[in-house]
A = this chain, B = another copy of it.
Amino acid sequence: MELLKQRILSDGRALDEHVLLVDSFLNHQVDVKLMQAVGAEFARRFADDGVTRIATIESSGIAPAAMTALAMDLPMVIMKKSVSSILRDGILQTEVFSFTKNLAYQLTLKKDFILPGDRVLLIDDFLANGEAAFGGFKLIEEAGGIPVGLGAVIAKVFQAGRDKLLAAGYRVEALAPVKRMSEGVIEFE
């Protein structure tokens, strides 16, 4: 997606080989018009896949997922990283390790919100090691849903996540696949 790649080149910043800072338009300050374009692009790529539901993982996936759900006229479900005191019954959980935050969390879904047979498109801001995506797909499958694929706004394809997901049979669409980074340098696939 050219518009997104250009924005990453102009406003993103590679801090080193692994860390890409995009907090000025994607995950802290958010350009919602750009997210609307991202949602339209995911809707286009998954237009023929009979998607019935959008899922995402709190919290940086929510804005692009909401715009995708709006473009596709579908409900969205937000998988949680913590359980509130009022969400206790009928939940599914799986442990996910976040390399960014260097901690494990219990990814949580109330199973009412994915129906058996639902064709679910998982949207997230980043794909790196794939831990969150595998956790999300696991919960979708445990609820009886069918994972249609992962839509990642940015994928660091030099990390293991995309290859592992493809090897496990999951479809991956990355709007900005980064093949190499170093301080001040970002190269797309």
Residues of A in contact with B (beta carbons under 8 Å apart): 15, 19, 21, 23-24, 27-33, 35-36, 58-59, 62-63, 66-67, 69-70, 73-78, 80, 82, 84-87, 100-102, 110, 112-113
Contacts and interface: CB of A to CB of B under 8 A. Distances in A.
A81 to B, nearest CB: 8
A8 to B, nearest CB: 15
A101 B82 contact: yes
B30 A77 contact: yes
A122 to B, nearest CB: 15
B66 A78 contact: no
A66 B62 CA distance: 9
A66 B28 contact: no
A29 B59 contact: no
Contacts of A82: 101
Contacts of A69: 30, 32
Contacts of A15: 86
B28 A110 contact: yes
Contacts of A66: 30, 32, 35, 62-63, 66-67
A70 B28 contact: no
A87 B23 contact: yes
